[in-house]
Structure formats: C-alpha cells, structure tokens
Amino acid sequence: MKLCVLGAGAWGTALAVAYSADHDVTLWTRDAAHAALLTRARENARYLPGITLPENLRITAERAAALHGCDLALIVTPIAGLREALKAVAAAGTPAVLWACKGFEAGSGLLPHAVAEQELPAAVARGALSGPSFAIEVARGQPTAITVASKDLAFASRMAAELHSPRLRLYAQDDLTGVEVGGAVKNVLAIATGVCDGLGFGLNARAALITRGLAEIARLGEALGGHGITFMGLAGMGDLILTCTGDLSRNRRVGLMLAEGLSLAEVLDKLGHVAEGVSTAREAAALARRTGVDMPITRAVADVLDGRVSARDAAERLLARDPKVEQEAVLERADEADIAPLQSPRG
C-alpha cells in the first residue's frame, strides 16, 4: 500500500518508520529545511532521536507531491493542523484517510471526525488511530496495540488488516466518537496526574485520580453518543493508564512542572513539544458545561492552566469534595433530556 504520513513529529516519524518495512511510505514535513536535514541525516534528532530512518522512506516538504497517488493518508499533526491537512487530502483526491491527532479543535470544540465531515467529500473513507502508544517504543519495534476506529466497520477492519504487524497490532471498531473522546480527555487527566505526583500525594492518590478520571471520560463520551464499553478498551483505559503513569508522557510532565510552581508559559517553553492536553482541557471543560456532564478533574485542570487557581489549591479543592456512593459517582450525569447524543459539540 502507498502511504503518505502528514506530520514529521515524534508520532508521525515513528509510524513512518514502522510502516516502511511493509509499505511504500512518504513522510511529509512542512519545513523544507527540516525535510532536507532528515533526508541527509536519516534521523529526526529533534523529535525522535536515536532512531535511524529507513533508506526506502521518502521525505519531502511538498505536500501535494507526497499525496499524489497514495492509497491512504495518515494525518499525524497536532489537532490544530488537522483541518488544513484534510483540505489537502480532499484536494489531492486521496481515497482514504486516518488521523492520529487527539483532542478538540480549538474554538469550534469539534472532535476530529466532525472536522473531517466538514472538509472531506462523502466518498473518502475515514477513521482514527488511537490507543496506548509512545512513539519511541513503536519506532524501536516494541510491542504495541492500538485501535483503528471508523463509523464504517468494514473500512476499519480492512485498515486493521493492512496495517497490522506482529509488533504493531491494530484492532478495529466502529465507536469513532468514543475512541476520540478517550484519546482527547486522557491528556487532560495526565496533566492532573502529573500535578498529583509532583505534589507528592502518593500512589494511592494516583490510582484514585485515574479511576475517577476514567469515569469523567465515560460520562462525556456517552453524552456525545459513545459506547460505555469503549472506555474499558485500548482507546479508553489503556491510553489513560499509559499517559498518566509513563515517564515519556508530555502531558504528565506538564503537570509535574505545574506542581513545581512554574507558570504555563515556562512549562511550555521547557517542554519544547506540543502537549495536547493544554488546549483540550479548556474545550473539554466548556463542552462539559454545555452538556451538563460533571467533570471536576477536567475543570480543575482548566482552572490551573488559565491561572485561576494554583496547582496545589486545585488539588486541595478536589480532595475537599463531598463523599458519594461510588456507583452514583461513576454514573452521575444530568437528566437524559439535557445530554442526548450530539452530532457535534456545537450541534
């Protein structure tokens, strides 16, 4: 299969490396100087140091040329670049696309599939790649399992079969909304977990935070039309656990630095990479308000990022919440009439 990977960050580069063994792959980066450097050095030293780029992997800054004649486009940009990439895919007449970006589009609050509905012709097959996956481990060929989700289960199953390998295993499913919500909100909860760890609250507190966070993901996901079982799988619990506990998690590192008392600007400057949870927290908190879904952890993270409270004060506020019966806390939501499944966050 001829693949075009749009985005030469860590995850895009890792997927390009992984799929070069079995497919004809072109990796696109928006910066011509970056493309020339990757071609010459055969290493993406800024985003994926220590990984040799296969000789058969083509690298270019010409997006139209990269997309020409490809069977599948993999969009692996931050979500801020998704709409632009989809426009390019549509213009190139690419027959199929998968996106691996996670979050809600800033301003519109849309999930990726809703952005795709606005930008792609109906004939273009589409879906999302999501799940517990650190780029460096995929690039090294370490075992990884992720989800390919599409409203068209036949397409998801075909992509899972085409892209599946013994070390990068893909599982198909049709709950696109649930998979995208899980992938988005887990980054917010990773920031919260980093704060918890940075404040020295301990492993018991971390376990409680992750568990309560999973309940928040499920409440929002179901309110938007996702299926509860999705959040027990790779794109829900699996991705949440990895991102909240793994030292490679950029969002967890954001939380750790916030707990040290650094400002958000200082955190992002030190991080040097995109942490999707920062923008997602605000959009998720706003969406929770509009849909009447209770998401106290997400709200607390948004308040910290916006400078309304300190990391410690937000943590103490969460600890001061009244106790509840656990089943009621898991299922707590507004009346069904207020949170019927939505076509899009603004819909």
The residues spanned by each domain of the chain are 2-174, 177-338
Q: For the segment 62-97, what is each residue's pLDDT rounded down to a tens digit?
A: 999 999 999 999 999 999 999 999 999 999 999 999
CATH superfamily of 2-174: NAD(P)-binding Rossmann-like Domain (3.40.50.720)
Catalytic positions are 186
Query: pTM to 2 decimals?
Result: 0.91
Query: pLDDT grade, residue 344 (50/70/90)?
Result: very low
Q: For the segment 13-70, what is each residue's pLDDT rounded down to a tens digit?
A: 999 999 999 999 999 999 999 999 999 999 999 999 999 999 999 999 999 999 999 9
Nearest to 151 by CA among 337, 343, 346: 343
Calpha distance 250→8 (Å, rounded): 17
Q: For the segment 257-286, what is each residue's pLDDT rounded down to a tens digit?
A: 999 999 999 999 998 777 889 999 999 999
pLDDT at 331: 47
The dihedral built from the CA positions of residue 273, 62, 75 and 299, taken in this order, carries a sign that is: positive
Q: For domain 177-338, give the fold.
A: N-(1-d-carboxylethyl)-l-norvaline Dehydrogenase; domain 2 (1.10.1040)
pLDDT at 347: 33
